Every structure is written in structure tokens, then in C-alpha cells.
Amino acid sequence: MSADRVVAFMDHIRIFQEQVEKLKALHVDSAEYSCLKAIVLFTSDACGLSDAAHIESLQEKSQCALEEYVRSQYPNQPSRFGKLLLRLPSLRTVSSSVIEQLFFVRLVGKTPIETLIRDMLLSGSSFNWPYMSIQCS
């Protein structure tokens, strides 16, 4: 890897670390984290969706669930819901290639993680992971 690419990659890592620290400062609990993941996953902005309205509806339900949860669990933090949602655009600035390099390159080599996920979902078979068995349908 050239020096310029190393510098650029290190800059991406710094940005990623800053985002992680901001999330840590919010002390995001597991329920909030699950809702945030659903909000990110159910985006109608993705290309090739056959039912974007349904996906958007799922995202809205996830947002409502998060808002309701935060209001009930953190009544003394009225701005918490907004702070959580405002973390999402910043997290999206971290490219999937950076995430692959940081977390998956030693596991999957040069195969793009999107390809592996797609193949797993399309195969419809069981995968034997070291710690669990996952049935994809």
C-alpha cells in the first residue's frame, strides 16, 4: 500500500474512531442500538428495491419504537432521541471498504463483504460458523 493510501486509510480510521467515541459518550443501550441498526438497515434509498414504501414503513416503525423507548427509559434526557438520530449521518460517512479493511479483511481476504452476504442470503442453506449455526431463508 502506498504512503498516500496509508495516510488516507488512517484518516478514515480516525473519523471512524471519532464516531465510535461519540456513540460511547451517549451510553447507547442494547435496545437503542437495535433500533438504530434497524433504522439504518431499512432505508428506502437503496437501489433496486421492489417495495420502497414497505421499507420506508419499516424504517418509520423503527424510529417510532426508538422514540417511544427513549421517552420511557430516559425521561430526564429530552434531547436523547435527537442526539441518537443525529449520529446516523456521521456513521454513514465511513465507507464500507474501510469497515471491510478494519474488521473483515483477515477473515475473507479480498472478497467484498457485500458479495459474501449476498451469496449467504441467496444460497438458502445452513452456514456452519465456529460458534453458531445460522439458517438463512
Is 100 a domain residue? no
Question: For the chain, which residues score pLDDT lower than 70?
Answer: 1, 108, 113, 124-137
Look at residue 137 in the predicted model and tell me its pLDDT: 37
Q: What tens digit of pLDDT does each residue of 92-127 get?
A: 777 777 777 777 777 767 777 677 777 777 776 555
Look at residue 40 in the predicted model and tell me its pLDDT: 87
Which pTM was predicted?
A: 0.68
Give burial (CB, 10 Å; 0-12/13-18/19+) of 131.
exposed
22 and 63 in one domain?
yes
50 and 7 in one domain?
yes
Look at residue 1 in the predicted model and tell me its pLDDT: 67
The number of folded domains in the chain is 2
Look at residue 133 in the predicted model and tell me its pLDDT: 42
Is 69 a domain residue? yes
The DSSP string of 15-52 is HHHHHHHHHHHHT--HHHHHHHHHHHHS-TTSTT-S-H
Parent domain of 39: 3-94
Neighbours of 122 (CB within 10 A): 9
